[in-house]
Structure formats: structure tokens, C-alpha cells
Amino acid sequence: MIVLDKLRPLPIPRHCLLYNLGCVPYETAWAWQRSLLAARLAHPDLEDLLILLEHPPVYTLGTGSSLAHLKFQREESNYSLFRTERGGEVTYHCPGQLVGYPILNLQSYRPDLHWYLRQLEAVLIETLAHYGLRGERIPGLTGVWVEGVKVAAIGIKVKRWITIHGFALNVCPDLAGFREIVPCGIGDRPVGSLAQFIPEITVAAVRVQVAQAFGQVFGCQIQPQGGTIPIP
């Protein structure tokens, strides 16, 4: 007869500190991420973080992005343009778009980039499901769509399995800035927002759902933090 060890402790979920911030300049948040990455490269046992925020209007390019996807002259733009170390093509950030920057050590989850991208998509799909929206993936592309409209983009950087950059979910932004680019290099599919389907939706409400979905999908314990991020 096999006797089960009922006293064996269940695995303890990994903690993930949640920082809910307001509208932060892109270059400030980018500097935070690089500092947090450097600290975790030196000390891989540091805690994970999920940073949720918005940005003032700004365009960002992935490390290999083509300038052909810009519909304006860089020197004539009213908004800043940054080339970053993330993957993916050009995108646009502005208020009303919820941006998430997970700083995770994938060695504690699963050291697999494709798995991580699909997990981030799953977080967003779970968030949309809370509002009765069906989030969809498109084979060969990264991101989340609703009824053929792209509502979320993902671009990441991983170094020694520590993640930076992340996802951007269009909740209720002014989408005019997207007309000045070929978003994510995809010219034949429209970009939209959740407000097209749920006019009364707010970023504040969606923040809560994204954090909950993140904890569920990654199997981690979300711990909301007050104040600002302790930058090393």
C-alpha cells in the first residue's frame, strides 16, 4: 500500500512586486529598466517586479526596426523618437494606453522566449475576457487582436533570462499618433482600442485586471507596493 505524504509542503509562489505608476516620461522608465536589469544580472535572486504606467506621446523603435515604417521626417516630428534594445518594429505610446514592464528572472519560471511571449499574450487575453471581449492571436505575429483590430503590442528584451520592456494595451488612447507610422511593421491590419468596444472603460480599472491576470498566468503572488520604485 502506498502512503501519501500529506505533510509535504506545496510550492511557494514566487513574489512579484507591483508598482502602479502614473504618466512617466519614456526615457525615465527606460533608465529604470536598465538599472533594474543591471542589478539582477549582478544579483539574480532579487525580487521580480511588474511596473504598470502610461507614457506621454512618444515613438519607439526596436533594435532592428526599419525607418521605412515612419511616415514622417524625424527632424519634423513633434514627439520624441527612441531606438531601444527591445525586439519588434516601431510603435506609439500615449496616455490612455496601459504599458506593462515585467522585470522577471525566467530561470524561476521557464527559460523560453516563445513561452514568455505567449504568456504575455495570455495575460492580455485573460484581461479582455473579464470585459467579455475575445482576445485573439494571429499565427506568425505577436500581440492581441479583438475582431481583427490590434489592441495590444508586445516587445521584449531578455538578457541572461532577465526580462525588460513588455506590453502596451490600448485602453482609451487617442489613436491619431498611430497614423504616422506602420505600427509594428504591419500595414494591412488596423490598430484600435478597448474603448471602441466598451466606451466607458478606464485605464484605472484595467490596471487591476491586468495585475490579477498576470499573477494567475505566471503563477506568482502579486504584492502591490506604495511609493516609487527603489532604483539600485
Which residues form the catalytic set? 184
* Alpha-carbon distances of 154 from 23, 42, 113, 143, 196, rounded to whole Å: 19, 26, 12, 6, 20
| H helical segments located in the chain | 26-42, 113-130, 203-218
State how far the Cα of 191 lies from the Cα of 176, in Å rounded to an integer.
Answer: 10
Concatenated DSSP letters of 103-143? E-BGGGS---HHHHHHHHHHHHHHHHHHTT---B--TT--S
In single-letter form, the type of residue at position 141 comes to: L
Burial (0-12, 13-18, 19+ Cβ within 10 Å), 86: buried
Whole-angstrom Cα distance, residue 177 to residue 151? 14
How many C-beta neighbours within 10 Å does residue 57 have? 18
